[in-house]
Amino acid sequence: VLDVHTFTVLVIVCTAVFFTFSFVHLSPKLKTTAPGLTDKTKRTAEHLYDSALLLSSRSDVQTCTSWNAPIIWEGMFNPGHYDQTHRSEGSSVALTVFAVGRLAFLNSSERHFMLSLPVSYYVFTDRPEKVPNVNLAPNRHLNVIKVERHARWQDISMTRMKTISDVIEADIRHHSTHVFCFDVDQVFTGRFGPEALGDTVALLHAHYYHLPRKLFTYDRNPKSEAFMRTGDFYYHAAVFGGSWRSVKALTEACYKSIMEDKKNNVEALWHDESHLNKYFWLHKPSRILSPEYCWDTSIGYRFDIRVHRLLWAPKDYYKLRTS
């Protein structure tokens, strides 16, 4: 027969064991590591391509977002895996670029952009006769589309959203699985391959990825549709892409916001880039490219930038903002 004291102790011990068992085995598992520090991070069905993606191979940089989207850096992937997988799945890419007044892009893309996949170029220009002859590889095609020349670069920048949406609807969706949109003042200098493909693809801006969030130049005007108090990252509009459906949805949404601003006599700080950042804040990208995929050499050496895949031309931003 147990005395009262012994019985009380047993009750306490049994209760503790029960709750410990319940917490460990029945409650949701607590994350003990930050996103991106384990190769077993759960990702959506879209990232079945990423079965061999090594998130933990780059401990010097963030390789995964809080919503489990991978951030692609050199050393995280096997190029041959992505080439073979996307080729076997029948992936194909449309590349759009607005070459109004300036043409120095296509030759480098033939040396480095999606070399393992069929590619269709869409060059929008006010001077089709100035588009250079390019020796295209098999399964690569060039489409030159005449567009109106605007007096201000800002108007070119903002109207491109509607132009891209229209050409996706009219043509691209019938033969390309993915679309990538580029600024023209850039040159490919290294592999830009299928590891960059995803449903919605954003690019970390080279000038902001090391800065605290409070210094990101989101549009702070509450009257603009692009207004943001905060965000996840600062994205560069020089490169964005994804499946044709997602890029069509993105460009339509940005164009609608831009037109709403125009109706209210408002212009976002960085024009389509401000609207792009707002869109990606509300609709998280499923894949993010590191600044390797669009680097500015004026920044100087960075230990975490191991390769340059695309280099952008220097710009006088004060002049651009005031012209």
232 is in an annotated binding site: no
How many CB atoms lie under 10 A from the CB of residue 56? 15
119 is in an annotated binding site: no
The helix/strand/coil state of 29 is coil
- Contact at 8 Å (CB) between 103 and 130? yes
273 catalytic, yes or no?
Answer: yes
- Contact at 8 Å (CB) between 267 and 154? yes
The strand pairing partners of 287, in sequence order, are 201
206 is in an annotated binding site: no
Tokens coding 198 = 């995803």
Q: Dump the DSSP string for 106-130.
A: HHHHHHHBSTTS-EEEEEEES-GGG
268 is in an annotated binding site: no
Q: Dump the DSSP string for 139-181.
A: TEEEEEEE-PPPSSHHHHHHHHHHHHHHHHHHTGGGT-SEEEE
184 is in an annotated binding site: yes
252 is in an annotated binding site: no
HEC assignment per residue over 11-22: HHHHHHHHHHHH
The strand pairing partners of 72, in sequence order, are 289
Of 195, 225, 273, 292, which residue is the catalytic one? 273
- Contact at 8 Å (CB) between 100 and 126? yes
Q: Is 142 exposed, middle or buried (0-12, 13-18, 19+ CB in 10 A)?
A: middle
The strand pairing partners of 192, in sequence order, are 113
238 is in an annotated binding site: no
Distances (CA, A) of 127 to 139, 144, 321: 25, 10, 25
100 is in an annotated binding site: yes
Binding residues for Mn(2+): 183, 185
Binding residues: 98-100, 183-185, 205, 217, 273, 296
Binding residues for UDP-N-acetyl-alpha-D-galactosamine: 98-100, 183-185
Give the residue numbers annotated as catalytic, written as ranges.
273
